[in-house]
Amino acid sequence: MRALIQRVTEASVTVEGKVIGEIGTGLLVLVCAMQGDTTANADTLAAKISKLRIFQDDAGKMNRSLLDIGGAALVVSQFTLAADTSRGNRPGFSTAAKPDEGRKLYEYFADQIASMGIPTATGEFGADMAVRLLNDGPVTIWMEF
């Protein structure tokens, strides 16, 4: 699975003019299931993200995790993370998981984050979403498992 995580002071996702998920301090997690991914990939990614020490401690160093600060996660499906731009100018997305499998892994991943005691909001798989965020730092990290 691939994820682009952004440390935020707030983030929300809107579908058809209605806010369907929002958080305060925490992480916006854009996630994409790739062909061949399994729940084991989702488990590894969720565990790594929950423990990733990218929040500041009292000395101003990135030394605290999402769990440490009691932060929240906004998990949004983002199949375009599978973009292959190696040929031409139009990205290809053939390496993304098929929609049914992608939905299952996306929902499973979000459930795994929530099961760790992290308040979790989500987008809507396959919907045209507007994502708003206030990136803190900015801190943006790419992960793949």
Quick check: is 13 in a domain?
yes
Query: Is 79 marked active-site?
Result: yes
**What DSSP string describes the chain?**
-EEEEEEEEEEEEEETTEEEEEESSEEEEEEEPBTT--HHHHHHHHHHHHH---EE-TTSSEEE-HHHHT-EEEEEE-GGGG-B-SSSSS-B-TTBPPHHHHHHHHHHHHHHHHHTT--EEE--TTS-EEEEEEEEEEEEEEEE-
Question: Which residue, chain included where needed, has tokens 């488990």?
Answer: 43
Quick check: is 56 in a domain?
yes
Quick check: is 107 in a domain?
yes
CATH label of the domain that carries residue 30? 3.50.80.10
At 132 the pLDDT is: 98
Quick check: is 59 in a domain?
yes
Please give the Cα distance from 55 to 39 (Å, whole number): 27
Domain that holds residue 16: 2-85+95-134
Please tell me which residue in 9, 35, 39, 80 is annotated as part of the active site.
80
At 1 the pLDDT is: 97
Please tell me which residue in 6, 14, 79, 109 is annotated as part of the active site.
79
Nearest to 32 by CA among 5, 4, 6, 1: 1
**Average confidence (pLDDT) over 73-101:** 96
Quick check: is 143 in a domain?
no
Quick check: is 109 in a domain?
yes
Q: pLDDT by residue (tens digit) across 43-79?
A: 999 999 999 999 999 999 999 999 999 999 999 999 9
Q: pLDDT by residue (tens digit) across 1-43?
A: 999 999 999 999 999 999 999 999 999 999 999 999 999 999 9
Please give the Cα distance from 139 to 16 (Å, whole number): 29
**Average confidence (pLDDT) over 90-118:** 97
At 133 the pLDDT is: 98
Please tell me which residue in 78, 112, 120, 122 is annotated as part of the active site.
78
138: confidence class by pLDDT, cuts 50, 70, 90 = very high
At 45 the pLDDT is: 98
Query: Is 125 marked active-site?
Result: no
117: confidence class by pLDDT, cuts 50, 70, 90 = very high
> Which pTM was predicted?
0.95
Quick check: is 6 in a domain?
yes
Structural domains in the chain (count): 1
Quick check: is 55 in a domain?
yes
